[in-house]
Amino acid sequence: MSYQYDLADFKKFLNDKNASYRVDGLIFWQNRIPLPIDLFNRIFNESDLIVTDFVYQMTASAVVFNKKISFEKEIGIPITELPKSDLAKIRAPLENWLDGHLPANSIFERIAYESADLLGLEGFEFSSSRVAKALEHQGKKYSRLFIPSEIRVFFDKIPGCGMVGQDNTDMFGNIIADRYNIYRSGFSDALAIIFNALLEFRILCSGRGSYLPKLKVLTPELTDLDVRFGKTSDGSLWEPRYEDNHYVILNQDHPLLRNLSEIQLKALAEFLFFMGEYENVQFSDDNKKFMENLRQSISRALWIKND
């Protein structure tokens, strides 16, 4: 089955892999583990940041396992304990060690760029300080780092790296949980499974040497009214704002907007502009709360219907 790189097709991809991965209302179910759909969507929408973290963790594991004797002698921590937060206490010696083993155009830097390219990361720029930061993560170890088979092909060309990713491959669940400041034990396994599948999905959609398409379904010149596209503070489809004059924000991540033609989107934008204007001029707290609840309820219902 062919897929397009977007949120809806990623959910289809997961469901095709395992029918128990499904959306039910505002919950994404990974087997019997429920994830809020807002969190699931956010992980996908911000996946460039998380996948960049993966590239640096993968690079960090490659250099320390390849340079095991030097690392353990000079830094004094067994590589089987990496990554480890104690390294933050000796950041200067760690960076000095990395500078000595990550020269320009080293095999580790080349693999980082190869992986970034394969995973569709546009504009990736290698940084040895990001490798140091990756090594300072506290959580599951590199034996549990998932390496997609397409990356494993050139990763395994580096001597000493065979032990990376040979265990439960659930390491990245902790990293994502830490990024979003959520309870690790409650979601970590589900997050790891979703992220590992996301890596496969990005490779499937990107194609060698190309970048993932960025969906651009919104244009700012829809109407002569002040309608702007961005993120709303509560995830609603629209939100009234005021800046010298009234304007309205349309949530660029709301799935309804992806399903509309430009004519339909213009009509919706004008309607929501005046809805927002009406909300903006309410002075009664009760009226304001009613309009806010109305906006949030309608937005959630439309999200469920169009997602």
Domain parsing of the chain, residue ranges: 7-206, 227-306
Round to whole Å and give the CA distance between 268 and 259.
12
Q: How many residues does the chain have?
A: 307
pLDDT at 209: 39
Cα-flanking dihedrals φ and ψ of residue 218, to 5°?
-120, 140
The answer to whether 206 touches 118, Cβ cutoff 8 Å, is yes
In this structure, the number of other CB atoms found within 10 A of the CB of residue 136 comes to: 18
pLDDT at position 154, please?
A: 82
Tens of pLDDT, residue by residue over 79-109, are 999 999 999 999 999 999 999 999 988 999 9
SS3 letters across 119-151:
CCCCCCCCCHHHHHHHHCCCCCCHHHCCCCHHH
As separate numbers, helices (DSSP H) first and strands (DSSP E) second, the chain gives 12, 6
Under 8 Å between Cβ of 5 and 206 = yes
> What is the distance between the terminal CA atoms of the chain, rounded to a whole angstrom?
20
- At 129-186, the pLDDT tens digits run 999 999 999 999 999 999 999 999 888 889 999 889 888 899 999 999 999 888 777 7
- Give me the residue label for tokens 């010149």: 221
The reported pTM is 0.73
What separation in angstroms does the CA of 235 have from each of 37, 178, 247, 255? 12, 22, 17, 11
Q: For residue 297, what are the contacts with CB-CB under 8 A and spacing of at least 6? A: none
Q: What is the rounded distance in angstroms from the CA atom of residue 266 to the CA atom of residue 250?
A: 11
Q: Which residue has the tokens 């909300």?
A: 279
